[in-house]
Chain A
Amino acid sequence: MEILVCVKRVPDTAENEFQLNSAGNDLDRDDLVYSVNEWDNYAVEEAIQIVDRVGGNVTVVTVGDSESEEVLRREMAMGANTGVLLSDDAFENSDGKGVATILAGEIKKGKYDLILTGAQADAAAGQVGGMLAAMLDLPYASLVNKIEIDGSKLKIGREIEGGNQEMNEIELPCVLSIQTGINEPRYVGIRGIRKVAQVEIPVKDAAALGVDPASVGEAGSKVKRVDYFVPVLGDGAEMLEGSTDEIIAQLIERIKSKGGLA
């Protein structure tokens, strides 16, 4: 089975405290730690496990600048066979549809049985997989947490509300967005990264993909981020301060009054 997994380099939510820049219109990106989108790791692991069972190849692809190469290498160190970087100045500031348009260009050039994405990435929109499927006229399922291969079809589970699982049958080729927890992504050590450090990663631009530059990037974007701000959701917590003993005494008093301690 030929599997394409779409991945993205994102700011790591576990490693960063997000601050706004002085103008307040973007994150202060100078010291941000980036890594591969968490959901994408599960998608790549699933692709590798499928190929281990039935044969084939796993290709990882991303839209980004040269810094995005590092996430392709990381996923190749996990076991993906090939990496492809889709990069062009015209791709900058693409909205979700723009990213899907660029990826669709690459997919049309190849022949893939299965296309996987993470269920969402840093913008938490969960949009690229569903858009890709619609652009390519392929069946789609989101939030997939189980895949069984059954000839030219897959039996898949989707995570739905309440932790229940919705089972579907879907025809190949198809696009699936992968939910975390579907598997346990393998650990990638320094040695694994070193092994793929010299592998050549082809870079394709808009012309190579047959993508109209006006349909992507800032020019083609109909959804634009104006600014970032720190949300105010409620009144905010009463913050307890002082020595640990003082804090604990205050906390126990409050928990008692709310019926949380006998």
Chain B
Amino acid sequence: MTQIYVYVTHKGGVADDIASEYIGAAKKIDAGAALTAVVTGSGADLDNVAQSLTSKYAEVIKISDPALAYPNAEVIRKALCNVLDKSAIVLAPHDTLGMDLCPGLSIKMDSTFAADAVDFEGVDGGKLKLVRQELGGAVSTHVTCDISNGAVITIRPGAFAPVDASASGKVTDKPAGDLSAKRKFLEVVQAEVGDVDITKSDVLVSIGRGIQEQENIAIAEELAEAMGAVVSCSRPIVDAKWLEKGRQVGTSGKTVKPKVYMAMGISGSFQHMGGVKGNPYIVAVNKNPKAPIFQVADVGIVADILEFMPALTEAINEMK
């Protein structure tokens, strides 16, 4: 029987949503697999998470050590190598911890690695078929992954529907073993709050690469002013230092819940859309008719935002 370990991340004693998503993902790999949740950390928070997972998982492995108090991937990798059966499948989230932890984990476990799975299509002849995306979400691919000697696979958070399994499982404590590491966690520096709080606005005029030049941001600001909105942006605008980090929407920026989200010249990568919550009405304007944003938007217009935004601003101002 296939053994699947799922590495459950947690905060403040509460498991992340991925804990329920794994159950759906694992069913799509092998409905008959033995499923074991694995948690690392220390103290009462870890105890609480481990206990809470027994309502979903028959087996919960708890690895407790003061060195695991902060999730330092270099330390967690050692603990998992010390504890887990290397021929099994290990699932982890494709987030900033999973990306740090998993490629190296697959090498240390001498197993196969696949990143950022968004779907699984079962195992055939020792090969797991999965779906992932390339080129910023512009294309998807089917990938086969030889799992005969085990595998480490990261799954995209939110890609698998959560399954509410019911179990009355048990927690097994496992000693972490040697955790010496050459990387030491120091502190988390909180993101600076800019002059505008984009999380408080009902309408966001959000700009991406399509804005082309820093000077063109004024065009978006004029539209935002006409709409009573504020300007937010995608990652490239912050990387170029055209707007401050506090304006960035996405998994590595702010999570926003507006009523209307105006995606202007934004391609719509999952990292960006991961920051758009609360099911807003999404308006997408993009020159590229194949931009992924048109798949998730409610209404789409194929146009150059540098021409479309001024026309829209003018029309709105004329109504007043």
Contacts and interface: CB of A to CB of B under 8 A. Distances in A.
B310 to A, nearest CB: 10
A89 interface: no
A262 B282 CA distance: 17
B186 interface: yes
A24 to B, nearest CB: 11
B107 interface: yes
Interface stretch (A57-65, A157-165, A190-198): A157-165
Interface stretch (B28-36, B39-47, B92-100, B161-169): B92-100
B113 A223 contact: yes
Interface in B74-129: 74, 77, 95-97, 99-108, 112-116, 129
A238 B283 contact: no
A224 interface: yes
Contact of B142 (A226, A233, A259): A226
Interface residues of B, number: 97
Interface stretch (A9-17, A75-83, A106-114): A9-17
B219 interface: no
A123 B296 CA distance: 21
Given A17-B288, A228-B139, A230-B140, A164 B133 contact: no
Interface string A118-157: 0100111111111101110011111100000000000101
Interface string A218-253: 000011111111111110111110001101110110
A134 B104 contact: yes
A163 B251 CA distance: 8
Contacts of B191: 162-165
A134 B299 contact: no
A130 B283 CA distance: 38
A229 B140 contact: yes
B235 A170 contact: no
A166 B284 CA distance: 33
B245 interface: yes
B301 A260 contact: no
A14 B290 contact: no
A180 B239 contact: yes
Nearest to B138: A18
A244 B311 CA distance: 8
Given A222-B145, A223-B144, A126 B99 contact: yes
Contacts of B77: 134
A122 B135 contact: yes
Q: Among B102, B137, B182, B254, which residue has the most Cβ atoms of chain A within 10 A? A: B182
B99 A254 contact: no
Nearest to A157: B189
Query: How big is the A interface, by class?
Result: 35 or more
B99 to A, nearest CB: 5
Q: Among A17, A133, A163, which residue has the most Cβ atoms of chain B within 10 A? A: A163
B158 to A, nearest CB: 12
Nearest to A171: B182
A261 interface: yes
Contacts of B138: 13, 18
B196 interface: no
B209 to A, nearest CB: 6
Nearest to B246: A163
Given A133-B104, A170-B182, A259 B202 contact: yes
B24 interface: no
B161 to A, nearest CB: 14
B227 A160 contact: no
A53 interface: no
Given A140-B183, A237-B294, A164 B190 contact: yes
Given A140-B74, A169-B184, A181-B238, A261 B316 contact: yes
A168 interface: yes
Contacts of A249: 315
A258 B278 CA distance: 13
B252 A13 contact: no
Given A139-B181, A223-B112, A240 B295 contact: no
A155 B298 CA distance: 44
Interface of B: 72-74, 77, 95-97, 99-108, 112-116, 129, 132-146, 181-191, 202-203, 209, 227-229, 235-236, 238-241, 245-246, 248, 251-255, 259-260, 262, 267, 281-284, 288, 290, 292, 294-303, 307-308, 311-312, 315-316, 319
Top 4 A-B pairs, shortest CB-CB distance:
A130-B103, A260-B260, A237-B300, A134-B107
7 contacts: A141-B100, A162-B255, A181-B238, A230-B139, A233-B295, A245-B315, A261-B227
Given A160-B252, A181-B235, A245-B315, 4 more contacts: A130-B107, A162-B254, A229-B141, A239-B301
Interface of A: 11, 13-14, 17-18, 20, 27, 96-97, 100, 119, 122-131, 133-135, 138-143, 155, 157-171, 174, 180-181, 184, 222-234, 236-240, 244-245, 247-249, 251-252, 254-255, 258-262
